Amino acid sequence: MASSEPNIVQNPDVRYLGRLLGDVIRVYGGDELFQRIEHIRSASVSRHRGLAGAEAIDPDLDALSLDDTLSFVRGFMLLSMLANLAEDRQGVAAEPGATLAEAIDTLGRENVSVEQVVALLREALIAPVLTAHPTEVRRKSMIDHRNRIAELMRERGEGQTESKEGDLIEPAIIRQIALLWQTRPLRRDRLYVADEVETALTYFRDIFLPVLPILYARWERVLGCRPPSFLRPGSWIGGDRDGNPFVDAQSLRSALARAAETILDHYLSEVHQLGAELSISSDLVEVTPGVETLAALSGDDAPARADEPYRRALSGIYARLAANFRAVSGRDPSPAPRTRAEAYPDPVTFRGDLAEIARALNAEGDGRLGSSGRLGRLIRSVETFGFHLASLDLRQNAEVHERVVAELLRTAGVEQDYAQLSEADRIDLLRRELGGTRLLGNPFATYSEETQSELDIVRAAAEAHRLYGAEAITTYIISKAEGVSDLLEVNILLKEAGLWRAGDPPQAAIMAVPLFETIGDLEKAPDVMRDWFGLPEAMALARSRGHQEVMVGYSDSNKDGGYLTSVWNLHKASRMLAEVFEQAGTALQIFHGRGGAVGRGGGSSFAAIRAQPKGTVQGRIRITEQGEVIAAKYGTRESAMANLEAMTSASLLASLEPRSARRRDRFYGAMESISQEAFRAYRELVYESEGFSTFFRQMTPIAEIAGLKIGSRPASRTRSERIEDLRAIPWVFSWSQARVMLPGWYGVGQGLDAFGDIGLLREMTEAWPFFRTTLQNLEMVLAKSDMGIAARYAELVEDAALRDAIFTRIRDGWHRTHDCLLAMTGESRLLENNPQLDASIRLRLPYIEPLNLLQVELLKRHRAGEKDPRIREGIQLSINAVATALRNSG
């Protein structure tokens, strides 16, 4: 199933895997099916090559039976999955500075020393945060087979002929592809929060746990010293309640317990293997008093280990860890400890025992026994993951907090109508409550289900701090934050659980973090934070903590104002926030709520971080990772190492690389003008065009996407069909399926065209990293969209007049954006200056088009009332396949 066309398929691994997939389909699906699929594939490739006389593929698709349609869609989906795998093996695109060593070289040429880099890293935090936002359409079983193929391809690339299990490489790959072919791609039952937790734990256990200690060891060699654990993963899964009624105190407790169980199990395994490794005899070496003490306290008095103090010390460490594991899981680990012991009170004490062993080993010979190898990696893991594995954020909507606090105040007899108070009066009231020791909650009062649920959450968070340490939960995200009272309300709730304590200064064990999501919210963000720092207690908290986090949302700002206005307002807000924080004398930590699609902040993370305004990174940055992006970036250890190092490198460059002294007032003024016109055009289409919601819901498979079992969260916040109430993820995902990609470009052409100064636009492209990155992401989206295919989806709109009126505007907007972009870049076609991405997209286009055409026909039949279950299955399979081929679609 692989084309021999050299200018489309440049990656030999794609050709190789495509050939093996074709062989599997022939064997397991039959020669007739193979020939049909191959005919459609070759005809579609010929069409995209522009060969004269190339056959139209529509009639061939129409001739497929429903059974053959399902097989065809699975075949093209698997080909796209294998093509993605082959490309991922190439790692991160060769961008200057994409490794720490390259970043240091780049900074060195700008007279930034390694000592300055190390000083920054001492205060740094770089955190990829995994979320459960549902854009990953593949079952975990499919991902597992895919990852096994990736491992076999790595061994093949190293010249091995046998796998580590002793199988011949090529037959082993064929076996995995055959398993993929025979594995059901779609989930039959909806996901629960517990399922999402387990999926995330797979990545933490199989990828982050082994990869991060290796990266740190590499960075130690590059830096010439041992940096602190500045790169630490986070999670939202089990703590993100915004719009998800299935996340509650019990799911929070379960997520935390499973994470603790996972990390403790890892530590137990490593300590057990260290015991096997450190067979050092006291008859042959001198043992330090510290190790002798650990050995004596271990309770391990087996005669066979009488002269092996390291093994006895590790027996005692294992027994204490086993007690921690038992407390979390309710069972003994395997193998069971030789003795019973008291659990470790915290990971610092556990690390102290490991460090004692390391010091003793380093005292012998050249000191390499304790500072490297398994023990060195384990010590690094404890520093990075603690007993909690990954910090879990809490998140809830500000409107919920308002209702809960209002009920608490009303029931306590403090204020009967909190919701009617002005912002100033709310702030005064909440500050008075936070300044005293009285709690609002009454154990004998009856509260609404919502209020009780929110109180249970903060109490579960306090319990987590006692069980797993303060790093288990450090942050409480406030969605739809609009004012200072939104932050104070969260602290009122934290106070109810003992997580806020009044005093001078006050103490808050969890930081309240505002999330500014809409265009209006982003515009107000600097004023909100300026007012926040105007409160003495808020300023005291920020100074004691050393920083304050602010989260900015890409998805909702895009849905609210369009791509260009979203990225510009995010840039402006970040720049202005940096000024506010500098005036306040505290460090800014921005949490970027990015998704996979460009309309949700997707694109190169390396380029995006480097393009952040000066003063907004400073070594501290958090970024959400979700859906198909998690599998793409962290599906294998190799890709995870490349992406994590690129994130680190970009953060260093954004923090320390000197910026051009050229004033950009002209650039900012131009961008403001372009953004205003783009915003007007976008809002006019999406929110002011009569019937647009109907057009969108009929043209795209939004209803069918809502039926996919890809997440625990509902597709809409309410039962309303208004665009305002639709979640950003299905909004973007639906436009991607229909090949319009509207959230990633609409309005840009109108803004650029109205501005008109092509000379200044070209200067901005050349000299301004932010603008250049914005255009690069825009170009990728335009290359993946197809107005011809989109027109076929538009035929699904029942009202012809509505269809023609709106689709004509969309198509004209696409052509205007396309033409303006080429005029600015000087290219003759899209991606002319990015051959690697161009080849990747060109490879996929011939395989996506037949999937789209089949999807349209199946949607017509489904909406006409045909009841054959294979039609619904075909639609869902095609959604899966198109998303796999497009990669960053949600």
Q: Is residue 391 within a helix (H) or strand (E), and if so which, with residue range?
A: strand 391-392
**Cα 879 to Cα 737: distance, rounded to the nearest angstrom:** 7
- Of 555, 646, 572, the C-alpha closest to 616 is 572
**Cα 573 to Cα 588: distance, rounded to the nearest angstrom:** 12
**Cα 679 to Cα 751: distance, rounded to the nearest angstrom:** 8
Report which DSSP code applies to 716: B
- Of 241, 393, 392, 248, the C-alpha closest to 717 is 241
**Cα 681 to Cα 684: distance, rounded to the nearest angstrom:** 5
Catalytic residue among 133, 571, 572, 862: 133
- Of 535, 524, 546, the C-alpha closest to 491 is 535
**Cα 543 to Cα 495: distance, rounded to the nearest angstrom:** 20
Q: Is residue 132 within a helix (H) or strand (E), and if so which, with residue range?
A: none
**Cα 813 to Cα 750: distance, rounded to the nearest angstrom:** 7
Q: Within a 10 A sphere around the Cβ of 826, how many other Cβ atoms?
A: 10
408, two tokens? 């608490």
Catalytic residue among 48, 145, 388, 559: 559
Residue 75 near residue 185, CB atoms below 8 Å: no
Rounded alpha-carbon distances, angstroms, from residue 130 to 175, 389, 392, 414, 425 = 31, 12, 9, 40, 38
**Alpha helix positions (H), 412-518:** 423-435, 449-468, 484-496
Residue 522 near residue 573, CB atoms below 8 Å: yes
- Concerning whether 633 is annotated as a catalytic residue, the answer is no
- Of 226, 883, 880, 184, the C-alpha closest to 596 is 883
- Of 415, 187, 42, the C-alpha closest to 879 is 187
Q: Which amino acid is at 840?
A: S
Handedness of CA 476, 477, 480, 484 (dihedral sign): positive
**Cα 495 to Cα 409: distance, rounded to the nearest angstrom:** 14
**Cα 153 to Cα 16: distance, rounded to the nearest angstrom:** 10
Tracing tokens 């061939």 back to the chain, one arrives at 60
- Concerning whether 559 is annotated as a catalytic residue, the answer is yes
Report which DSSP code applies to 551: E
**Cα 740 to Cα 829: distance, rounded to the nearest angstrom:** 18
Give the active site residues: 133, 559
